[in-house]
């Protein structure tokens, strides 16, 4: 373990105060605890969290040690990053015997230096559109009421209002704020059972941070809301496949009818689908009636790893690759929604597998997503066979094949 710049362990005490120590901070990459120096000042819009039933780790006398409070409990500190920033390292801690599985958030290592907070991250896109501080909460209630009056029978408006106000979903808020990418959930079902699904989880895992849509909107409801957003918004995108729904291709019939209505009325904006891309046939049919872009969610291009995490039902990576090639030939803009966690994606075998896909030239954009999951829970499911080379190096390798970012591009 080599010596890095002097970043210090910082923890939270029982009163909620942050305490910077004179101990060297360590971070976690996979199952390795290491010294690290790729930190940036904590970005605006970040959330600080403490981790209960866990003890912070630090570096002293050439070894990693567990730090305990002298008179009271202390807790490891971490950050949840705003979109536009990619996590480079996990917080370093030791579980106590009482530790339960952590909720589904993207935990990033936080350290202290000269009284300031730093996080193991790098900026990978313009953070403006992903910064919660740029979403005026005071405007939402009035905007929601106005849209309810305009589309009084559309159930999606009520659903998205709840997502905007309760979950602070950015794509839901964009519908009411008349800008950018607006989410239109459409599917109650999914044909995968991802370990980190944020809308539906098995009871023995961890609570989902939001509820899945519980009705199937009609083609007319979808088209009505889509036409509103496309006609009234700045840089408009309508996007199927949100966090509060399942796989949108399972709502294929309604979406296809909706796209026909939309594109008969307007050619404005971009129609996108976030999907697991299990059916090239359905995607090609949607392309014929107006689908412009897809964003394919994958944690790995290795079949075994993909199967463990996504638990697909009736499809595999071969089907996904067929979708990518078929849609690329038809001019669809194809993004990877690459779920990323330090220690997994940056293993050499994982990088080689991504290179085999990317060098074919069908991927237009790699959108990095900080995977929301308890690292211990994930790594118990997916054993780490190699030591990762670091997320920074992982991003450098991938950037040779396609642009790296966090948001959709608008130049389709």
Indicate the burial class of 104 (C-beta count within 10 angstroms; 0-12, 13-18, 19 or more). Answer: buried
- Looking at the domain assignment, is residue 129 inside a domain? no
Verify that 266 and 284 share a domain, yes or no.
Answer: no
Verify that 156 and 264 share a domain, yes or no.
Answer: yes
Verify that 303 and 336 share a domain, yes or no.
Answer: yes
Main-chain phi, psi angles of 231, to 5 degrees: -90, -15
User: Using one digit for the tens of pLDDT, what is the confidence trace for 123-171?
Assistant: 999 888 888 888 888 899 999 999 999 999 999 999 999 999 988 889 9
Is residue 396 a contact partner of residue 354, using CB atoms and an 8 Å limit? no
Verify that 386 and 363 share a domain, yes or no.
Answer: yes
Give the per-residue pLDDT at 9: 97
Element (H, E) at 334: strand 333-340
Verify that 212 and 316 share a domain, yes or no.
Answer: no
pLDDT, average across residues 173-189: 94
Cα separation, 6 vs 349, whole angstroms:
32
- Looking at the domain assignment, is residue 109 inside a domain? yes
- Looking at the domain assignment, is residue 343 inside a domain? yes
pLDDT band, residue 11 (cuts 50/70/90): very high
Give bridge partners of residue 76 from the DSSP assignment.
11
| End position of a domain, from candidates 123, 150, 179 | 123
Verify that 360 and 376 share a domain, yes or no.
Answer: yes
- Looking at the domain assignment, is residue 316 inside a domain? yes
pLDDT, average across residues 168-197: 91
Q: Give the tokens for residue 218.
A: 């009609």
Q: Give the tokens for residue 193.
A: 């059972």
Give the per-residue pLDDT at 167: 84
Q: Give the tokens for residue 125.
A: 């896109």
407 compared with 124, residue with greater pLDDT:
124
Cα separation, 283 vs 285, whole angstroms:
5
Verify that 236 and 350 share a domain, yes or no.
Answer: no
- Looking at the domain assignment, is residue 219 inside a domain? yes
User: Using one digit for the tens of pLDDT, what is the confidence trace for 189-209?
Assistant: 999 888 877 665 454 555 555
Give the per-residue pLDDT at 412: 39
- If one counts the domains in the chain, the total is 3
Is residue 337 a contact partner of residue 298, using CB atoms and an 8 Å limit? yes
For the chain, what is the mean pLDDT? 92
Is residue 394 a contact partner of residue 346, using CB atoms and an 8 Å limit? yes
Main-chain phi, psi angles of 135, to 5 degrees: -120, 95
User: Using one digit for the tens of pLDDT, what is the confidence trace for 331-372?
Assistant: 999 999 999 999 999 999 999 999 999 999 999 999 999 999
- Looking at the domain assignment, is residue 130 inside a domain? no
The pLDDT of residue 2 is above 50: no
Verify that 147 and 96 share a domain, yes or no.
Answer: no
Cα separation, 39 vs 57, whole angstroms:
17
Cα separation, 31 vs 154, whole angstroms:
48
What separation in angstroms does the CA of 304 have from each of 301, 382, 399? Answer: 9, 9, 25
- Looking at the domain assignment, is residue 3 inside a domain? no
| End position of a domain, from candidates 89, 123, 157 | 123
User: Using one digit for the tens of pLDDT, what is the confidence trace for 208-228?
Assistant: 556 778 889 999 999 999 999
Main-chain phi, psi angles of 338, to 5 degrees: -90, 110
Verify that 242 and 149 share a domain, yes or no.
Answer: yes
User: Using one digit for the tens of pLDDT, what is the confidence trace for 41-79?
Assistant: 999 989 999 999 999 999 998 899 999 988 789 999 999
Residue with tokens 């602070």: 168
Q: Give the tokens for residue 297.
A: 């969610």
Verify that 226 and 290 share a domain, yes or no.
Answer: no
The pLDDT of residue 4 is above 60: no
Give the per-residue pLDDT at 71: 77
Name which of 2-16, 91-105, 230-244, 283-297 the model is least confident about: 2-16
| End position of a domain, from candidates 97, 123, 149 | 123
Verify that 146 and 199 share a domain, yes or no.
Answer: yes
Residue 395: other Cβ atoms inside 10 A: 20
Residue with tokens 């307007």: 266
* CA-CA-CA-CA torsion sign (204, 210, 215, 216): negative
Q: 70: which residues sit within 8 A by CB, 6+ positions away?
A: none
pTM over 0.85: yes
* End-to-end Cα, the chain, rounded Å: 46
The CATH number linked to 372 is 3.20.20.70
User: Using one digit for the tens of pLDDT, what is the confidence trace for 303-312?
Assistant: 999 999 999 9
Verify that 99 and 149 share a domain, yes or no.
Answer: no
Alpha helices per DSSP H over 151-218: 155-166, 170-177
Full domain range(s) for residue 226: 135-270
The pLDDT of residue 242 is above 90: no
What proportion of the chain, given as a percentage, has pLDDT over 90?
81
């Amino acid at each position: 373990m080599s010596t890095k710049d002097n970043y210090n362990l910082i923890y939270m005490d029982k009163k909620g105060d942050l305490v910077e120590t004179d101990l060297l901070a360590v971070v976690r990459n996979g199952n390795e605890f290491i010294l690290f120096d790729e930190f940036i000042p904590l970005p605006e819009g970040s959330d600080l969290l403490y981790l209960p039933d866990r003890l912070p780790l630090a570096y002293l006398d050439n070894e990693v040690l567990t730090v305990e409070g002298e008179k009271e409990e202390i807790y490891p500190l971490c950050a949840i990053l705003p979109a536009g920033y990619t996590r480079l390292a996990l917080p370093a801690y030791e579980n106590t015997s009482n530790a339960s599985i952590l909720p589904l958030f993207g935990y990033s290592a936080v350290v202290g230096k000269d009284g300031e907070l730093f996080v193991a991250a790098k900026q990978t896109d313009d953070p403006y559109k992903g910064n919660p501080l740029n979403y005026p909460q005071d405007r939402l209630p009035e905007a929601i009421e106005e849209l309810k009056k305009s589309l009084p029978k559309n159930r999606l408006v009520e659903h998205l209002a709840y997502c905007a106000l309760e979950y602070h979903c950015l794509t839901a808020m964009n519908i009411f704020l008349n800008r950018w990418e607006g989410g239109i959930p459409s599917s109650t079902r999914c044909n995968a059972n991802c370990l980190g699904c944020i809308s539906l989880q098995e009871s023995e895992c961890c609570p989902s941070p939001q509820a899945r849509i519980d009705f199937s909107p009609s083609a007319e409801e979808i088209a009505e809301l889509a036409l509103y957003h496309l006609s009234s918004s700045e840089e408009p995108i309508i996007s199927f496949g949100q966090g509060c729904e399942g796989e949108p291709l399972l709502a294929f019939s309604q979406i296809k009818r909706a796209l026909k209505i939309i594109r008969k009325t307007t050619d404005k904006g971009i129609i996108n689908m976030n999907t697991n891309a299990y059916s090239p046939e359905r995607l090609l049919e949607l392309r014929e009636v107006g689908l412009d872009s897809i964003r394919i969610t994958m944690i790995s291009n290795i079949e075994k790893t993909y199967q463990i995490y996504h638990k697909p039902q009736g499809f595999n990576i071969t089907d996904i690759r067929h979708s990518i090639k078929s849609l690329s030939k038809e001019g669809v803009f194809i993004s990877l929604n690459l779920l990323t966690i330090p220690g997994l994606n940056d293993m050499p075998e994982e990088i080689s597998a991504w290179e085999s896909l990317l060098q074919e030239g069908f991927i237009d954009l790699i959108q990095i997503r900080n995977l929301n999951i308890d690292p211990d829970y994930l790594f118990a499911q997916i054993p780490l066979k190699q030591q990762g080379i670091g997320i920074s190096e992982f991003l450098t390798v991938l950037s040779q094949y396609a642009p790296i970012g966090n948001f959709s591009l608008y130049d389709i």
